[in-house]
């Protein structure tokens, strides 16, 4: 009997590449959508498809014969000149993809959402699948990644394809080449480029990217349709994250802690720089500073119970990330 075929988007991204490997290891046949298949030089068993989520009609035929869709692709950027496309890709692209999937007869889809859609901790309680952000409007603002992910979920669940959503927290591990904000933190710390600790009081949930990939496969196979599953690892105060980074990189902790007002002023100046220079890449994103005092804690109990999700040690994931950056000349 031929293996089930999965249509995977975002296969060249950090999470998507790990999901690709997890799907192949589980015996699936994968047809993978990327923006430029000519740059792919691995996994000969994969059928690579060129495509852009804002032009679904150009690749809709590739959904024919696929039993499942796993949609990991999304646009995440702090650059002012890329924000205009966030809504078009994350919301409009998802709606178009799932409409095409329905016409192609896809039976089930897994959406890679984000823990951004559950907001932050409520007092001493980490957020879970019953939560939504309380400090952001539900209507997606163009350029607001977090609001776009709330709207992306709505578009997916409103489609005619049965959907399961997984909500990763902050994934960390090898292969974060772009990198994500968490990967940039690891890389910059390993390079000794971070001069100051962040303002006190914040925290986040980190999770190994390999665990996130395994959670996608589990959601595809065992997730309840119409449900959301947080895929998180460990809730850590930011100072604890910095101590772990010092351990795995062998670098000392910065001796200076930046006051929030100073961090905000630097970020605001960096925002202005990036608005003037279209090619500039933010080094101190304003949104990141705004969130630095929040406790972005999450509860993965539901995924543990229903999917068998079993996250591993974050310290090990940070170590794998550091090794990967060093082996690839990035740290």
Three-class SS state of 103: helix
Separation between Cα atoms, residue 9 and residue 19, nearest integer Å: 10
Predicted confidence at residue 140, as pLDDT, reads 44
Residue 267 lies in a domain: no
Cα–Cα distance list, 88 to 54, 56, 110, 310 (Å)? 7, 12, 20, 34
Separation between Cα atoms, residue 199 and residue 201, nearest integer Å: 7
Residue 280 lies in a domain: no
Residue 12 lies in a domain: yes
Residue 154 lies in a domain: yes
Predicted confidence at residue 138, as pLDDT, reads 41
Q: How many independent structural domains does the chain possess?
A: 1
Residue 260 lies in a domain: no
Predicted confidence at residue 319, as pLDDT, reads 98
Predicted confidence at residue 272, as pLDDT, reads 72
Note down the domain range covering 239. 5-251+287-322
CATH number, domain at 293?
3.40.50.720
Residue 271 lies in a domain: no
pLDDT per position as a tens digit, 190-246 = 999 888 887 777 899 999 999 999 999 999 999 999 999 999 999 999 899 999 999
Separation between Cα atoms, residue 246 and residue 213, nearest integer Å: 27
Predicted confidence at residue 200, as pLDDT, reads 76
CB-neighbour burial class of residue 21 (10 A; exposed 0-12, middle 13-18, buried 19+): middle
């Amino acid at each position: 009997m031929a293996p089930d075929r999965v249509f995977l988007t975002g296969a060249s991204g950090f999470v998507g590449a790990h999901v690709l490997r997890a799907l192949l290891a589980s015996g699936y046949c994968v047809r993978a959508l990327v923006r430029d298949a000519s740059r792919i030089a691995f996994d000969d068993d994969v059928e690579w498809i060129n495509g852009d989520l804002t032009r679904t009609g150009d690749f809709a035929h590739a959904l024919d014969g696929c039993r499942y869709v796993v949609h990991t692709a999304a646009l995440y950027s702090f650059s002012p000149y890329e924000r205009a496309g966030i809504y078009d890709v994350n919301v409009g692209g998802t709606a178009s993809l799932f409409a095409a999937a329905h016409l192609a007869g896809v039976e089930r889809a897994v959406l890679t959402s984000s823990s951004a859609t559950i907001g932050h901790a409520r007092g001493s309680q980490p957020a879970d699948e019953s939560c939504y952000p309380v400090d952001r409007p539900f209507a997606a603002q163009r350029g607001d990644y977090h609001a776009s992910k709330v709207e992306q979920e709505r578009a997916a669940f409103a489609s005619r394809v049965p959907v399961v959503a997984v909500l990763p927290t902050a994934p960390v591990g090898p292969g974060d080449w772009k990198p994500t904000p968490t990967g940039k933190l690891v890389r910059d710390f390993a390079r000794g480029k971070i001069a100051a600790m962040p303002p006190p009081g914040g925290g986040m949930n980190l999770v190994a990217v390999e665990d996130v990939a395994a959670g996608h496969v589990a959601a595809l196979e065992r997730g309840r349709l119409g449900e959301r599953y947080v895929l998180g690892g460990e809730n850590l105060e930011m100072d604890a994250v910095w101590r772990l980074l010092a351990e795995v990189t062998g670098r000392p902790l910065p001796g200076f802690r930046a006051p929030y007002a100073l961090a905000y002023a630097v970020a605001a100046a960096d925002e202005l720089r990036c608005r003037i220079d279209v090619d500039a890449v933010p080094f101190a994103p304003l949104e990141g500073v705004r969130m630095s005092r929040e406790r972005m804690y999450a509860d993965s109990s539901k995924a543990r119970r229903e999917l068998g999700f079993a996250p591993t040690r974050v310290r090990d994931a940070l170590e794998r990330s550091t090794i990967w950056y060093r082996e690839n000349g990035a740290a």
